[in-house]
Amino acid sequence: KLEVLALSENELGGRFPYWLDTLSNLQVLVLRSNNFHGPIESSSKIDRPFPKLRIFDVSNNRLLGPLPAKYIANLIAMKNQETSALHYMGDILYEDAIVVVMKGMEIELVKILMALKGLNFSHNNLTSSIPSSVGNLTNLEWLDLSSNKLNGDIPGELADVSSLTTLNLSNNLLSGPIPEGPQIDTFVHSFDGNPGLCGHPLPTACGLDVPQSPPTTFPAEEEEGESAHWIELRAVAMGYGSGLFIGISAGYIMLEIGRPRWVVRMVERWVVRMVERKRRRKTTRPKRDAAPRNHPRQLFMTDFALTCGYMFIMAIKVRSF
């Protein structure tokens, strides 16, 4: 004879009490905000579970696994327009309030239990797709499956449930086009948090290729700068290499002639002037893209002359010891 079972926010634990589906007169089942875990399993002892259930709220638990397709397919009270009302308890109508969650707000329902019909499986870890049998619940008024891990397409049959006034499928892994229908179009924020969804009312259109970013290209001036940079390095390396060889050779030749000290002093003064000139040119050097075309040649000659002078002096001084 049990018609209403409301045990929300009691820290109840364990697996979902599937044996409740044998209660043929149960119309309201609220187990919200407890510690139930595991899958929502149906009893194998009964073919038509929860035949009179109008409110099924198991939100804010730790339930996992697929949505209970067997339950959803057999909720007869959510299919028929006329179903039996809650029975009188003596001469007093059962008026205990039931608190349900709609659009994130707790709403207290009093004296309207026989009219409202809804499912709330939100804030769990439920997976799989939404069963198409939800479209058979022609008198379903609110459906909240938000904040789970549901995937796949939204069944097109859901658009045929004209009695639906509240729908929340946000924060899942749903994908594909949103079914079109006058009722679906009114749920503006019901599909947020599903990156794979497309179509109205979301801004993402369906059937369009995602624009790919063009390949990275370098401007012509950057390419010229890169080539000029390598030319400069090559000129510097050639200048140092040639100056090293010729400077040492010239130093030894001059020593064989007779250690001309005046030549050494002259070369030293000339090297100092070249170093100062190169330092001044470096501080006042224009940008690379504005440099003259013969700049690598100047680098080669400067580095060649400096290296040649250095090696000439070093060769003479080393040989003199």
How does pLDDT run across 67-115, given as a tens digit for each residue? 998 889 888 888 866 544 444 333 333 344 555 566 666 665 554 444 4
Helix, coil or strand: residue 189? coil
Please check the confidence at residue 272 and state whether its pLDDT lies above 80: no
pLDDT for the residue 76: 87
Which residues make beta-bridge pairs with 197?
A: 176
Angle at 170 between CA 167 and CA 171, to 5 degrees: 155
Out of 38-52, 59-73, 136-150, least confident range? 38-52
Dump strand ranges (E) for 39-117.
Answer: 55-57, 62-66, 88-89, 92-93, 98-102, 105-109
How far apart are the C-alpha atoms of 152 and 134, rounded to whole Å? Answer: 15
Mean pLDDT of 114-135: 87
pLDDT for the residue 92: 30
**Top-confidence range, 12-16, 84-88, 159-163, 268-272:** 12-16
Among 170, 128, 124, smallest CA distance to 151 is for: 128
How far apart are the C-alpha atoms of 192 and 146, rounded to whole Å? Answer: 10
201: cis peptide before it, omega within 30°?
Answer: yes
Angle between helices 295-320 and 220-257 (to 10 degrees): 30
What DSSP character marks residue 301?
H
How far apart are the C-alpha atoms of 304 and 284, rounded to whole Å? Answer: 21
Contact 129, 157 (CB under 8 A): no
Cβ burial 195-206 (10 Å sphere, 16+ → b, else e): eebbbeebeeee
Residue carrying the six token digits 């250095």: 310
Read out DSSP for 79-136?
T-S--PPPPEETTEE----EEEEETTEEEEE-S-TTT--EEE--SSEEESPPPGGGGG
Q: Phi, psi at residue 142, to the nearest 5°?
A: -145, 140
Amino acid at 236: V
How far apart are the C-alpha atoms of 58 and 6, rounded to whole Å? Answer: 10
Amino acid at 212: Q
Contact 51, 79 (CB under 8 A): no
Contact 148, 129 (CB under 8 A): no
**Top-confidence range, 50-54, 88-92, 260-264:** 50-54
Q: Phi, psi at residue 100, to the nearest 5°?
A: -120, 165
